Amino acid sequence: MVGKLYKESLLAALRESLDSSDLESVKRAADSLHQGGGDPVAALSNIVLNELPDSDQRTLALRALKHLDSSTAASIAERLRGTSTSREPRRTTLGTPSGQACASQRDPSKWWIFGSLTALAILWPAYSVYRFNHPRPSEPPKPMSPWTEQEVDFEARSACRSAVRQQLRDPDSADFPALSPSEVRTSYTSGTVTGYLHASNGLGLKVRADYLCTFEVDRRARTLSVLEADLIQR
C-alpha cells in the first residue's frame, strides 16, 4: 500500500510539473517516477491523449516524451503527435446529423473513453518493449549460512576420496569402508582425514592402503580444497 501511494504521489508530481512550462522540471519528475518503479512513458502518453490538442500541457508532455532516454518513448511521441489533427472535431453546424456527432465527440466522458482506448492500443506493445529495455532490478541474493560441522565432514571426506583415487592405478576399483567420525578431524579453517581403502594393484589383486589427507576450509564461503593426499600401500 505504501509503495502504491508513493507511486501515485510521483505521478501527481509529474502532472504538476506540466503546469510549470519547464521541460527540465518535467524530465526530473519523469525520472523520479521511473526510479520509484513507475512508468513515465505510459504516464506522459496518457496525459497527451487526455489533454486538448492545443493545450500547453499536451505540448510539454510530447516534448518530454521525445527527450526521455528511450527510443521507444521517442517513437510514441511521434505517433501521438500525428494523432492530434485526426482527433480534432470537424467544423459543422449543430443542426445537422454530422454536427450532432461532433457535439458528442466534445462530450468529456466520451473523449476520455476514446483517449483511454487509443492509449491502450498504443502503449501495450510499447510497454512490453520498455520493460524489456528497462528491467526491474533483481533482489540481491540472500547470504548463505556458514557450513556446519556435519557439512564440513561430508565435504572433506568426498574431496579426499576424490584426491586419493587420482593416485591409483585403477581408480574404479577403489573401495572405501565406512569411516567413523573420529577419522575426520577439523578446526575452523583446516583439518585432516585418515582412513584406508582396498584397490587393485598392478597384478589385479585387491590390496589395502592407508591414506592421510589434509585440507583447508572456508566455512563462510562454503569452499574446501585439498592441500595434500598421501597414499601408503601395505
Is the domain of 70 the same as that of 44? yes
How many Å apart are CA 99 and CA 209, to the nearest integer?
Answer: 104
Q: Would 225 be classed as within a structural domain?
A: yes
How many Å apart are CA 91 and CA 99, to the nearest integer?
Answer: 8
Q: Would 221 be classed as within a structural domain?
A: yes
Is the domain of 75 the same as that of 159? no
Is the domain of 49 the same as that of 119? yes
Q: Would 158 be classed as within a structural domain?
A: yes
Look up residue 31 and give its three cell numbers.
525520472
Residue ending a domain, choose from 98, 133, 168: 133
* Amino acid at position 135, single letter: P
Look up residue 98 and give its three cell numbers.
454530422
pLDDT lower than 50: segments of the chain: 85-105
Q: Would 45 be classed as within a structural domain?
A: yes
Give the pLDDT score at 213. Answer: 94
Is the domain of 219 the same as that of 191? yes
Question: Given CA atoms 150, 153, 155, 157 in this order, what sign does their dihedral have?
Answer: negative
Give the pLDDT score at 83. Answer: 54
How many Å apart are CA 28 and CA 18, to the nearest integer?
Answer: 11
Q: Would 102 be classed as within a structural domain?
A: no
Give the pLDDT score at 202. Answer: 80
Nearest to 134 by CA among 35, 7, 5: 35
Give the pLDDT score at 201. Answer: 84
Q: Name the H helices within 174-228.
A: none
Q: Would 40 be classed as within a structural domain?
A: yes
Q: Would 99 be classed as within a structural domain?
A: no
How many Å apart are CA 15 and CA 13, to the nearest integer?
Answer: 5
Residue 192, domain extent: 149-233
The count of other CB atoms within 10 Å of the CB of residue 230 is: 13
What's the farthest any 2 CA atoms get from each other in the chain?
115
Total count of domains within the chain: 2
Give the pLDDT score at 228. Answer: 94
Give the pLDDT score at 130. Answer: 67
- 70 near 132, Cβ under 8 Å? no
Is the domain of 193 the same as that of 117? no
- Compute CA distances 214 → 185, 192, 198, 221, 226, whole Å: 10, 4, 20, 19, 6
Burial class (CB in 10 A: 0-12, 13-18, 19+), 155: middle
How many Å apart are CA 33 and CA 199, to the nearest integer?
Answer: 69
How many Å apart are CA 182 and CA 48, to the nearest integer?
Answer: 76
